[in-house]
Structure 1
């Protein structure tokens, strides 16, 4: 029997490092660059040029997404809804025999269902089963792909 699995060892969702910071007076500035260094007439040092270029590059990448800040916030909020998040097994278990994605404590992602009587996770499409302690979290399967009409 075959089943899909993915291992997440060491792979974490990258978070964008902030490009801005507030100084002691509450002024926004480029991270690592004092506000005074951005005033008119100041010399643009190699360090400042590299910081400005890096910030402009990140701005270009953001603009290339074509998304407005509100759309990005909505996407982030969507990803945090109960329907699309990992649910620790200590919090709750899925419905009886419902196919779900599970994440093992070693980082493997599998399709499985939980059999409450035997208190075991059953790997979908195989005879293998895992004891409850091997599974760290689960989440519902996504909706199947449907071409736009």
Structure 2
């Protein structure tokens, strides 16, 4: 943004005009007024404006962090790394507990994927058949259009 005020160090001993053109002063005052109005309309404090000038404080960075957190929540997790925690496989609906759907990768001749459940001890498909050779899992988020 173009500076609208005189820097403090230039006030003392600065050059003075012999003749002041009132129209020019009014025009400059209106430029300053409209620039200040634009700033005030943002609703941001000077500190918030300063933080926008750094990448870490920018809206883009905030959304990038949120995206990375979401991506981390929905990544494939190796069974050898850890099993689902209770909050990941149990939910509560109307005071009743229910099993959350979990996407499961398991080994056959090839790697296959299925929506299943984990009951804290074993893996099951939606028909409650036991799934063997589970190698990875992630919380299932159904596609919502």
TM norm structure 2: 0.39
In our comparison, the structure showing a higher alpha carbon Rg is: 2
With a CA cutoff of 8 Å and minimum separation of 6, indicate the structure with the bigger relative contact order.
Answer: 1
TM norm structure 1: 0.38
